[in-house]
Amino acid sequence: MNGSEFLTQTTAAENSYRLSWLAYVKVVFKFLLLVATAVGLIWWSFHKSRSVQSANLSVALGSLLLIIGAVLFIYRIVYLRSVKLYTDSVGVWIFRGVFPWSRGYRGVKWRDMEDAMYFTGFFSWLFRSYTIRIGHRFTKTSEIVIADLAKGHKAVEHINHMHHLVLDAEHASGRSSESFSP
């Protein structure tokens, strides 16, 4: 489990965030590149092939490439639509997955959270689509890193604000000020 927290959602989400349209553009661009390659292979087979056997092989390979590309394209779009970052009273969680065996929640509880931050750049600023990182105090493998989160800067502000509220509540209740006595 790598020290991360897993949850079946039992509390209501306070705020939730999804991926921006930029994540989908990358997938569409890769698919179009694959389609252009397959169509080029099929075109070559009809116009430049020296034998009927090589033409048939090229058409079969190009068609197979198109079918595999279409299936992967659909899977990737459905997967991107499933990604959701949200906060609740327990912590920060990410839900993702398409198939039942890969679908689920993973996250960081407020008590184990280090900080949340987003990475800036010209395109991030221009499209308001940021890569965010939610750190875990104890292990790097339990961090949540999400690229192309829509309004990621607002998500980070909200997460850090909630984290400070939780820390202030713990200090006010006296849990962290308890002294060790033998």
Does residue 105 form part of some domain?
A: yes
Domain hosting residue 89, numbered range: 85-173
CB 88 within 8 A of CB 13: yes
**Residue 60 shares a structural domain with residue 98:** no
**Residue 76 shares a structural domain with residue 89:** no
**Residue 95 shares a structural domain with residue 75:** no
Please tell me the predicted confidence (pLDDT) of residue 98. Answer: 93
**Residue 76 shares a structural domain with residue 95:** no
Does pTM top 0.95 for this prediction?
no
**Residue 98 shares a structural domain with residue 58:** no
pLDDT tens sequence across 75-121:
999 999 999 999 988 899 999 999 999 999 899 999 889 989 999 88
Does residue 178 form part of some domain?
A: no
Please tell me the predicted confidence (pLDDT) of residue 181. Answer: 38
| Residue ranges in the chain modelled with pLDDT below 50 | 1-11, 176-182
Does residue 38 form part of some domain?
A: yes
Please tell me the predicted confidence (pLDDT) of residue 176. Answer: 46
**Residue 148 shares a structural domain with residue 131:** yes
